[in-house]
Each structure stands twice: as C-alpha cells, then as structure tokens.
Amino acid sequence: MIIDIHGHYTTSPEGLMAYRGSQVGQLNNPQKGRLNVSDDQIRDSVQGQIVGQKERGCDVTLFSPLAGGMGHHFGNELTSRYWAETCNELIHRVVTMFPQNFIGVCQLPQTPGISPANCIAELERCVNEFGFVACNLNPDPSGGYWTDPPITDRYWYPFYEKMVELDVPAMIHVSASCNPNFQYTGAHYINGDTTAIMQLIERPQMLKDFPTLRFVIPHGGGAVPYHWSRYRGIAHDMGRGELSDLLLKNVFFDSCVYYQPGMEVLLKAVGVDNVMFATEMIGAIRSKDPQTGDWYDNTKKFIDAIDWLTDADRQKLFEDNAKRVYPRVAAKLK
C-alpha cells in the first residue's frame, strides 16, 4: 500500500472561494452562512487527484484544505472559525464520497494573537465526528510577519495537550504570505519548515514536556536535511547533544523534495524511519519537467530510483511510517 501524507484540496469548486469572498464584507460581523457546492462539483473537482494517484501508483492521500487558503491573518477569530469549519466540512464530504482515495486532515481556526486553545473544539469535532487523522498547524498565523510566539512556547501548550489526548500529529505548515518579501510556495513555505525545526533545537523543553507529541515537517524539512551537520553543530554548540537524539522521536519529514539528489540527501540525513512518502499533488507545481517529461512532483519516481534502499526501507517510507505517526490512519485502513 502507498500512502501519500501531503495533499491539499487545491482544486475545490468555485463555491468555496465565493464563500471566502462573502467573508470580506463581514469583517466586523462574521456569519457562518452556507457553502454552495454540489456533490457533482466535488466529484468533478477531485478527478485530477484520483487520476494522479492511479498514474503514480498511490493508494490513498491524507487530504486537507488548501494550505495557502487558510489565511489565518484575515479577519478575526470568528472569521477564522467559520472559514475553518466550512473548509473542513467540505473535506469531510470529499472523504465521505471517496473513502478509498482520501483521509481527512483539518485546518485550524487560528488567529494572530489569539490563544491556540481556541482551536481545540474544531480539532475534536474533526477527529471525533469526521474521523480525521491529523491537523495542519500554522506556526505563523500573521502570514509572513511572524508575530506570534515560537511553537515551543507555552502559548501553544493547551492545543498540544489535546493533540496528545487524541493521538493526532500536526503538520507544521504556513499559509499565504502577506509580506512582499516572501513568495509563498518557494520562500514562506520552505522558511516555515526551517524555522520550526530550528525553534525545536533552540528551545527543546517543549519536546520534553510532550514526549509523545508528533510534528510532521513538510517539503522535506525545508533547508535542514541539506545542511544537516550545520544543525548538528549548532545543536552541539548549544549543549543539546546529537541532533537525531534530540528531534527524531517527535519530528518526521515528508518526501516533498522534487529533485533526485535532494531526495537522497533527505533520506541520508534523517534516515528512512523518519520520512513519509508525499507529493503535495496537486500542489505547488502544476507542470511537467521538460528535462524528464514527467511531473515535477512525481516524488515516487525519485524514491524508486535510489538503489541503496531495501524493500524493507520502502515499506516504511510508503506505508509503515505513516501508520506509526498517524495511528488513526492505521485504524482506518484495518
């Protein structure tokens, strides 16, 4: 079985953006309102993902709302609550219609400066009522200005307590950037990944306080695996010991590295026990590489091409690690 742990609903029907558009006029008085999206529209909208799964030999995708669309900077906490609820309800419809293809992961109603405890109710609803298996946690709800505390701060602890209780991991994933310095998929996303890992190295108390908490760092961990011994050295100089001992019980990486030599670095740096197959399909790049004639984001091909991986390694990368990091995936697939 091949599980893709990183897919966003980037192809949602127009009704979803119309809903978002209606929020613009309600900034001081948000209303839940109603989403106008039909089952037929949903069915049409996910055909690209389903064809992509078949073409690439993938069985099931962990599917969450559009990351760039989370937009936690926009409006107030009610705006974010209604938007997250609506996006998650739409994912629930997708998952209910295509249970063989998709497993739900939720967006959270985060707002800059508002306690993440505010996200607990929606996480519980998505996990307990909808059967979702994880959440996407935005380390920068401001959208490129980084005004909230680091993810290691006690500010986040009430939410982590609920994650531990429900036994669900969080993918640490920023959203759109409002800062003209940071293009989103090439700068803000990758910087968010690098930043999150460095926060864990700098202030590791949080991992001691939550020894069973699990974070998934997307996009192959940003810059970190490429500079692995830079981070090992920084950790040593800070008195943190060996980096793998510090991080790898709690931190896992997806395989969204669209470059063969990069994929090899990822697997060498963090090892096959801490990487999970993922594509972001349909995601950051929508075209084929003219040098290979294949999709840029066909990451399975890069893993297939690594001759030093054993069959046991591949079993971990494609299936077993995901079932270990996301226990609710394992339960669902039984």
Residues making contact with a copy of itself (CB under 8 A): 139-140, 144-146, 148-150, 179-183, 185-187, 190-191, 194-195, 198-199, 201-202, 219-220, 222-223, 225-234, 236-237, 242, 257-259, 261-262, 264-265, 268-269, 284-287, 289-290, 296-297
Query: 98 or 145, CB closer to a copy of itself?
Result: 145
CB of 200 to a copy of itself, least distance (A): 10
159 Cβ neighbours under 8 A, 6+ residues apart = 116, 117, 119, 120, 123, 137
Active-site option among 85, 122, 280, 319:
280
Query: 169 or 225, CB closer to a copy of itself?
Result: 225
CB of 231 to a copy of itself, least distance (A): 6
CB under 8 A, 24+ apart: contacts of 29-37: 30/75, 30/76, 30/78, 30/79, 30/81, 30/82, 31/82, 32/82, 32/85, 32/86, 33/82, 35/86, 35/89, 35/90, 37/12, 37/13, 37/90, 37/93
Measure CA 293 to chain center: 27
Task: Cite the DSSP H helix spans in 152-209.
Answer: 157-166, 189-202, 205-209
Q: What phi, psi does 276 have (nearest 5°)? A: -125, 140
Query: 127 or 151, CB closer to a copy of itself?
Result: 151
Query: 168 or 275, CB closer to a copy of itself?
Result: 275
280 is catalytic: yes
Give how far Cα 236 sits from Cα of 9, 208, 224, 267, Å. Answer: 40, 18, 15, 22
Query: 57 or 233, CB closer to a copy of itself?
Result: 233
CB of 293 to a copy of itself, least distance (A): 13
CB of 260 to a copy of itself, least distance (A): 8
Q: How many residues does the chain have?
A: 334
CB of 6 to a copy of itself, least distance (A): 13
Measure CA 28 to chain center: 30
Active site (catalytic) residues:
280
